[in-house]
Structure 1
């Protein structure tokens, strides 16, 4: 594997206000899990694409 592109995150504003812990787990903890797996596999190229609800 040469690199990883991370393009996923949850971003529904209303739902995130109603369920903040769910969004924290999905977005923050999910990213941390992915980063640990990437680091463990020795991949050094990582592209993170942030998204925002407008």
Structure 2
């Protein structure tokens, strides 16, 4: 077992960016931001994006 390769670091960076994006996006749709941590796991990230895309957003008009 060696050190992390570039591919492993790329996966870590993508997970961090995904969690950060969900952390900022979810409160705007009425979901607590701590749920964004589930974005580390791809099935949960897909489900969260599905929920956010079809949820009724509050109008700011």
TM-score (norm 2): 0.39
Rg (Cα) greater in structure: 2
Greater share of strand: 1
Q: TM-score, normalised by structure 1?
A: 0.42
